[in-house]
Structure 1
Amino acid sequence: MPFKTGRERTPMVAKTMKIKALLAAAMLAVFASVCGGSATQASASPTAQSDASQIVAEMGAGWNLGNQLEANIDGYPSETAWGNPTVTQALIDKVQGAGFDTIRIPVSYLRHIGPGPDYAVNSSWLNRVQEVVDYAYNRGMYVVINMHGDGYKTINGSWLICDSSSQTEIKDKYQKVWQQIASKFQSYDEHLILESMNEEFDGQYGQPTQPCYSNINDYNQIFVDTVRKTGGNNSSRWLLVPGWNTNIDYTAGDYGFAIPTDEYRSSSIPGDEHRIMISVHYYDPWDFTGEENGTITQWGPAATNPSKTSTWGQEDHLDAQLKKMHDGFAMKGYPVVVGEYGSIDKSSFDSANNRYRADFAHTMAATAKKYGAVSIYWDNGFNGQYGFGLFDRGSHAVTQQGIVSAIMSGTGGD
């Protein structure tokens, strides 16, 4: 059966469906508090080195601050555009308190990028991105930020289009925007991970096409080179890159994905180590995880109703997919990050649905741990029918404790 590991997102679909501590870190946060400043300013020393297995273990359980900094109105990013309230320190503290060690913060830039040749990013927007990053970073959490919606053809203001004929202009713009982002975060230590883009493809679900895939590889290479050349801690920072639509088969298989070279990284990194991670997403089977209907509401070996359970995409499939990534990348020293996974709430059709959602989340977290990968749950801030939410972003209450507990059990967290 054909399947998707990513989703086409229009603003409305995104609103309703997607609407996904270490002692040293704690000391850093305390230092910042005592000194009355930001820990980001305190971390000017060279980035501490962590090998692949160590950083995966330290990143622990991950959570997405979805539908906030990638939300937009007519191509202008705004964190409340898709119905979520303004992000607060209290929310991030609640997420950390629930056991999450890593937060992925999707970010769109779109029409906050000025005209060429400078392509200056709106300073107020970039400052707000930094402020939200600091909510987690200053608490000692790992933080992933990316360029999220700039490649979606369905969003006004998108421009990172891999099958466009304007590749010279696109690549120049991409380089200059990432140069500004990387410079903004140059002094942050390895708790900040930069991700080149999100679910980049030609918009058609099917096998990769050319020259689109070659352009995606070019974007990843430009990203790595640009970040490294900004210097400081960026010269040794972990960088995260995806293949075609963050699809496991099209990244691990023989479809054209190329791991970027890293010739500008710090000479302090041993030659046999890497500082590049590989990003994929996982939403299989889509009829359980994402289809907005009550047809398929159960998943896994505990499912009681075969007519409510997908005929594919069960535990054996998940295991096989993550094994592909382990064998193709993790075994070669490139950590794998499942940057998004999750399933929508269909409990209005099946009162037991949230139990199967918890089973799915537990199995993903446990299988990722088994294969040395990081898993980051997609939370769009939306609770109720078809929502991915684990927290109420207004009250900060945990809304799906069963799923949170399942994730922690799978990763071995508290």
Structure 2
Amino acid sequence: MAGTQYAGATLEQERLAALRSYEILDTTAEQDFDDIATLASQLCDKPIALISLVDADRQWFKARVGTDVCEGPRDTSICAHAMFDEDVMQVPDARLDPRFANCPTVTGDPHIRFYAGAPLITPHGKALGTLCVADSVPGSLTPAQRHGLRALARHVVTQLELRKYARDMHVLHQRLRSAEQIKDEFIARVNHEFRTPLTAINGYLEMLGDPELPSESRDGFLQRVQRNSDRLLALVNDMLLAAQVSADSREFARVPADLAVLARTSVDANRPLAEAKGLIITAETDEKVFADVDVRRMGQALERLILNAVKFTDAGTITVRAEARDGHAMLLVRDTGVGISEEDQARVLAPFRRSADAERNEVQGLGLGLSIVKSISEGHDGEVTITSRPGVGTTISIAVPATGPYPEL
């Protein structure tokens, strides 16, 4: 019995998901649907006609003729029965049918006696509701009227499918436009970011080929070649990592880990970089912050947050914190840098998108760092949050589901 109830609940959830996928509930009246209801009323010679969509606990009328009622409870709905019928369900006199004799629409206004409903069935076999007609006097439909009501019910579903298709095509078009824009930005960004160090390397190599170049100049040029080479390598690594952690290709080996240890390790590894810029970097952690993570990937995400903080902080401190909060394991990187405007906070999480300050000051980078962080976070069922005030500083946090604590071995 329990298995049957579970299967029934699953089917109902699938049915409701199908209904809601059309995004039709609680929309305004539309002429196409109103015309179908009018045709049903005229064809069946009944004063009331409805396109009834049965939600979880109500029936809602997309189109109606002969009544001003917009919706009603599902538990007293005749349509909730009719939508599961294989054919047109007819109730010649609702007063004589024990299923419906006590329904408010039968005992009270509009005093329904006759009812006929054709189910609205999706191409995948899910029942959405009915196209129904009703009357305050007993009656029945002729075979031709039943056939016509079924045909009009199919036309209702066709209209729903057409609207869904049009909406999906609009979304796809928007995504394609966005993808095209990202591609253009990618080409422009990569062209600039790669061409600049390559041009510099080429120039220094030409000068290094001069046999009369003083040794002290040679050493300086070699250092510049090395810096530009390191910059190119960092760009390539970011591009490869972005591809590896994209939504379509990421595979994370998640194991129990203490994010407090990860925070302290990342701070130690990046301290020379921060101190070279005159910044103070510290780690603040709870005693234990457990989560199931891919330690390498989460370390890459945290490193990019720290590098970002260093890049956009001219003076002050960078604090890396690990803490447990509200069922989440948190990694936070707080800086005293330039900050990110509210308009840019959503933008900078997308690939190749950078803040206005980064663009204005021509800060090096492809704009992949925070999008990599976002992908890694989402790959751990987590999310990234940005809190920032321009000129004051920024805090970027990664929150993933907390687990543990784990027994020590």
TM-score class normalised by the smaller sequence: under 0.3
TM-score, L = length of structure 1: 0.20
Q: Which has the larger radius of gyration?
A: 2
- The structure whose residues are more often strand, as a share, is 2
- The structure whose residues are more often helix, as a share, is 2
TM-score, L = length of structure 2: 0.21
Larger RCO (CA within 8 A; separation ≥ 6): 1
